[in-house]
Structure formats: structure tokens, C-alpha cells
Structure 1
Amino acid sequence: MKRFIAPVLLALMLPACGLQPLYSGGSKGAVASTLGSIAVEPIQGKSGWLMRNALSDRLGAPQADAAQFRLVVALDDQIEGFGVRADDTVTRERRTLRARYQLISRATGETVLDATAGADAGIDVVSSEYATIASENTALENLTQRVADQIVTRLSLYAGGE
């Protein structure tokens, strides 16, 4: 009998915890509507181009007059060598991508969200310079995807009322 009472009590307490789906209401919900009204400002450099595309893919591109917010992103892309051999050649690199982003209301000009996101990746340095450069580029592409996911998740939490 006790085996049945505990799950029933837990099921009854679940609505009291205050959890609710973030994307409730589907495409007409508050979160989807807010995300769809964010215009991503241009970001400088190759990493900026990749980041803007990744964010635009996730947020959608609002009509110019329908954007209620603008997202300003500043990137810091670093490659640091470590793992040095006896002959002072680098054997491993770490690529770090950090983003500081601000969500600004177009109506008031007020910054409603100011946060950071980041990720890093390890890169093997091999004898082929072409292979190393290709690995660095692939790492950058993957990092922009991961950081864009972090940014959109944080924007979703803001839109959902945290």
C-alpha cells in the first residue's frame, strides 16, 4: 500500500512546484513571440559572421519594422598554444570564444539583458599546416554554434520571465 501512496503524493505536489513549460503556447507563446522579434546586429569578422548566422537561424529574421529588440554581440576569439615539445613547438592549442551580448529595447533604448556566454575547444597541432588551419576553422564553427545555443537559451529564459 505504501508503494502506491508515495507516487500519488509526489504527483499531487508536482503542480505546486511552479514549473511550467518554457515554450508553452507553441509559436504563438510569449517566448517564441519575443525571440521572433529580436534583430541581430552585424558582428565584425569571420567569427562574427558565423555567430550572426547561427543566431539568425535560431531566432528567425523579423521584419525590419516588427523587431522590438536588437541584439548587440561583441566577440573575443583567442587561440592559445600549450603542450610544448622540447624543441619549443606547440603540440596543442585551445580556441576560446567568448561573447558579451546585450538585448536592447527599440522602444526605450534600455538594455534589458546584459550577459556573457563562452565555450572552448582543444585543437591538435600536426605537421601539416593545412590540417591545423582546417581544425582551427572547424573549432570556430563548432564554438559559434555552442555559444549561439547558450545565448538563445538565456534569451528564452528572459522572455519566459525567468
Structure 2
Amino acid sequence: MAEQGNVALRVVDEETLGGLLAAAVADAAPEDVMPPVAGPPGWTSDRREAFLAWHRARGRAGLDGPAREATYAVVHDGAIVGSVRLARAGAPGELETGIWLGRSHRGRGIGTVALRLLRVEARRVGGRVLVADTTADNAPAVAALRRLGATLSRRPDGVAVSARLPLGE
């Protein structure tokens, strides 16, 4: 799909989904990359199946599918290292994003490049603003959003941070 330097985004299909799961199991905690699943901690077989089912149900049908989401694998130097998604938000032209990267790939600028590429995709599909939520202690995410020119605001709880990034022309 989109590529900049040694970072690319690839639409998550069945083949890519297997690689995405492998990257998550090898380099991320389940709670970092998917909704909670009951049971013992770690990447149990139930959690692996839930990860696959969640991605098949949500991001695979695209922005016009029932979940109104599209998911892309973040590829660095030819290897899947995380994912980024777009979702239709409340207002027309408003798209929400979320990203995760494997622990060993965080803090190296990969997330910023992936979000830059996602911004291009968001414009392509008619987005006018990209929104994201994170926490104040997620320094790499906050820094990436700032580098891209997002306006950040802390929520009243003092922990949650909301970002708005106009996409321009």
C-alpha cells in the first residue's frame, strides 16, 4: 500500500493477519494489542484465537464495512512490527486512529512514519481530521502526535490525552 523509507503499511488480509499475530506474540503483551480476554495471563490459545477473530470481524471489511474500520500492518525492514487502524468517528470526515508496535520497535520513529503514511491514506478516503486517544505516560505516542502537528489536550482525569490532527489538502 504505502511506503516511506523502510516503513510501509499493508492492508491486513488473511496472510498478513498471521504475521501480525506472530509479531504480537513475539513482542507485545496481549493487553497492548487487543481487548481483554478472560483467563490466565499471556498468549494462551484462547487469546490467540480471540486476536484473529477480533481482526477478522473489525478491520478486514474496511471503512465501509459493519465495523467502519480498516487495519494495516506496520512493516519495518520487511517484517511486520505492529498495526495501525482507521475508523470512522462521529463527525463526517473525522477518522480515529490507534497504533501498536512491538516493544523492541518502540521509540525509534517507526510509529511517526506509520502515522504519516496513515495520514495520506486518511486523506485519500476523504478524511479531514484524524483523532487519537492515548495516555499522558505514553511518551512515544504523544511525541509522534506532536511531531505530526496534532493538537493535544488532557482530559479532566489528567491521564487521558486526546489528539486532533487536521489533514489539510
TM bucket normalised to smaller: under 0.3
Greater helix fraction, Structure 1 or Structure 2: 1
TM-score in terms of structure 2 length = 0.22
TM-score in terms of structure 1 length = 0.23
